[in-house]
Chain A
């Protein structure tokens, strides 16, 4: 709120401290817990003499990280590339299609129900088919990513575009605004927060999609690396790749959130 009452600085005022919590304060407990779990893991693998190919100790994973760094990096870039291209492709196609669906009653009645039904198709299961049709290389992986991202984005965008409150529509209609004005000034900004919800769901799916695509058949990428290194009992490398995938997922998610904070500040406010 804009108005804040400032009471005179009385010495006998006993202010109740409202702890809003700093980022550090909030993070310290989970970080410590995580470190404790890592140590427990390290000790357990040594104590129970668990073989490294079965469950490597955190230290072994760290060593694998250092030894395999250049390979890990190359494969990371491949997976990142597939993820980002597939994700971008789904935005480029899903958003305009959502606009078309919202504006065209015919499309809304014909295509949209089919799209919604197709959402239930396990896209992961299509990956072998894509490999069959398109072969190996980056394209089938990009298409798997595209498929898993497309539906959350189109649904979120269509929902957002249709979510303009009735009084706002009345206001706009009372001013005889044309379709373009309505879209630019009202519909699209209204849809933006919804679109970002879709994007954030999609980006987490996107990494999974890329890995699935790589599992089915490829010669590069972190998914491929996990497959190959675990089959060769180089489990620490598989773990290192897994960790990189996790980091990639998290970084991409927060990148989207950062873009959201910048482009739709009104939606992020609490």
Chain B
């Protein structure tokens, strides 16, 4: 990758054609997702496990939210609830003011593993959601090429997933999540399986994508630095039972750079998060 690592002020010369016009530019102006009194419990033979207890959270339009916490704090559960892959035990989730009842097409998901289908090349993997949703394939193909270009995978369209490195596979997975132009991007520890360098690189890459393709991003991670460096707000969660312990506003200028990690402000944030999640 020859893209500059330190400075990510790359702004598109023209807005993406698929960008919905109704969307407000200022982030946090409108509530995109509202989580109210959310509980998730599991009943097993050994008793009741509380995965998530009384979670309230309001996420603004085009906001970048990081959910951070140790294993078992319910951050992935919260993400799965928002994606409607699982149902809440109590409470509700509103998207654009409407309670969610099932998986929404306005959501794209990226998992820890890229899970590209090995029998499809990169382009066809990216196009999978478009096929399933029955979108216009000509337009989808065009968008796929744009997205692959955006993430630096232009020229890799006809490659098979196994020919790609882990980082490249995850870039393709991000394209796949964005192909149907959802306004919400849910990311479940998307870079956790990558090496530290690739992880850093992809983090900034994501910010660059986000500056071009404005989305509401909910980013689950167990990496505190990553959470602070990328997000507008860090939602710190604690385990047993899974709950939100604090929501921290990250007041660092954008574009974010790697050297911000060494500022006093950054350290204050990370110390605070470490303290509230009990680690």
Contact = CB atoms under 8 A, between A and B. Distances in A.
Q: Are these two chains actual partners, yes or no?
A: yes
Interface stretch (A4-12, A94-102, A154-162, A174-182): A174-182
Which of B107, B119, B165 lies at the interface centre, i.e. has the most chain A CB atoms within 10 A of its CB?
Answer: B119
Interface string B65-91: 000000000000000100111000000
Given A1-B163, A176-B102, A176-B105, A170 B85 contact: yes
B132 interface: yes
A3 to B, nearest CB: 9
B163 A185 contact: no
Interface in A53-75: none
Nearest to B176: A171
B159 A2 contact: yes
A167 B115 contact: yes
A174 B109 contact: yes
B201 to A, nearest CB: 16
A165 interface: yes
Contact of A175 (B129, B159, B165): B129
A175 B132 contact: yes
Contacts of A269: 162
A1 B164 CA distance: 7
Nearest to A270: B162
A66 B103 CA distance: 70
Which of A1, A173, A174, A175 lies at the interface centre, i.e. has the most chain B CB atoms within 10 A of its CB?
Answer: A174
Nearest to A175: B132
B165 to A, nearest CB: 8
Interface string B127-140: 01101110000000
Nearest to A174: B103
A186 B163 contact: no
B117 interface: yes
Contacts of A267: 118
Interface in B162-204: 162-165
A85 interface: no
Given A181-B132, A185-B131, A175 B115 contact: no
B103 A175 contact: yes
B132 A185 contact: yes
B210 interface: no
B113 interface: yes
B103 A176 contact: yes
A108 B176 CA distance: 34
Given A170-B85, A176-B103, A189 B119 contact: yes
Contacts of A264: 119
A258 to B, nearest CB: 18
A175 B117 contact: no
Contact of A186 (B85, B117, B164, B165): B117
Contacts of B159: 2
B163 A2 contact: yes
B107 A174 contact: yes
B117 A189 contact: yes
Interface in A253-270: 264, 266-267, 269
A172 interface: yes
Contacts of A177: 132
B119 A168 contact: no
Contacts of A165: 113, 115
A15 B119 CA distance: 36
B223 interface: no
Nearest to A263: B119
A125 to B, nearest CB: 41
B83 A168 contact: no
B266 interface: no
A173 to B, nearest CB: 6
B163 A175 contact: no
Contacts of B84: 174
Nearest to A2: B163
Contacts of A1: 163, 165
Interface string A230-270: 00000000000000000000000000000000001011010
Contacts of A176: 102-103, 105, 132
B269 interface: no
Given A175-B132, A176-B132, A266-B118, 20 more contacts: A1-B163, A2-B164, A165-B113, A167-B113, A168-B115, A168-B117, A170-B80, A170-B83, A171-B111, A173-B103, A174-B83, A174-B84, A174-B107, A175-B103, A176-B105, A181-B131, A185-B131, A189-B117, A266-B160, A266-B162
In the A-B complex, list the 6 residue pairs whose CB atoms are closest, starting with the nearest: A266-B118, A167-B111, A167-B115, A177-B132, A175-B132, A174-B103
15 contacts: A2-B159, A2-B164, A168-B115, A170-B80, A170-B85, A171-B111, A171-B115, A173-B85, A173-B103, A174-B85, A174-B107, A176-B103, A189-B119, A266-B119, A266-B160
